[in-house]
Amino acid sequence: MTNKLYKLMNWAKIEEITYSECDNPHELLGPHKQGSKMLVQAFFPGAEKVTIHWKKTGQVGEAFLADVPMELADEEGYFAALINAGKMAPYEYLVEYGKTEEREAHRMICGDAYRHVPQITKEDMDRFAVGVHYTIYEKLGAHPMELDGDNGTYFAVWAPNAMRVSVVGDFNEWDGRIHQMRRLGDSGIFELFIPGAEAGDC
């Protein structure tokens, strides 16, 4: 890992994510502005290689002409890259896994679950807290939708006493480390939009 990228890493928070003890993974994961650049971080347990692939190659500027290999920051599968641009073009991850006793080497393409803003507003949370949000079923649960150009499913659950919550399913091989959810303030609500998760998935 380059020295510049190393200094940008929040190692205590990274440990929270790799040990599944984080209730706000969006604080680190996904794209975050660093001066005139963008710092992108991702966690794919067991992955050997992760590359940022631009969906629309060359559409935004020279920074988006070529795929960007991410650097391995933590051997558990935590990757990071510093993009020489002030904003991100539409992108997805190319994730490569080596051969293990359980499975063959394989590669997958997936969207970034941590680049999206919450779909539950402060007004929603305030109304829910005092028991007058009569359409909360439109927010909580699982809702297939398109968000920022990604097709997927928005998940939200009220779990006020939980330390942390994950979404598990066929789309992440039932691994609770992959899609850790964000706690919304003191509402007790955890949420996450997962690109690629669709109706009919277990």
| Mean predicted lDDT score pLDDT of the chain | 93
Question: What average pLDDT does the segment 160-175 reach?
Answer: 94
pLDDT in tens, 21-58: 999 999 999 999 999 999 999 999 999 999 999 987 55
CATH class of the domain whose range is 3-110: mainly beta
CATH of domain 122-195: 2.60.40.10
Give percent above pLDDT 90 in the chain.
Answer: 82
- At 175-192, the pLDDT tens digits run 999 999 999 999 999 999
Does the pTM surpass 0.85? The reply is: yes
From-to residues of CATH 2.60.40.10 in the chain: 3-110, 122-195
User: Is residue 13 within a helix (H) or strand (E), and if so which, with residue range?
Assistant: helix 11-18
Closest CA to 202 of 175, 171, 178: 171
Give the whole-angstrom CA distance, residue 190 versus residue 192.
7
The DSSP code sequence of 68-136 is EEPEEEETTTEEEEEESSSSPPSEEEEEEE---SSS--EEEEE--TTSS--SS-HHHHHHHHTT--TTG
The amino acid at 117: V
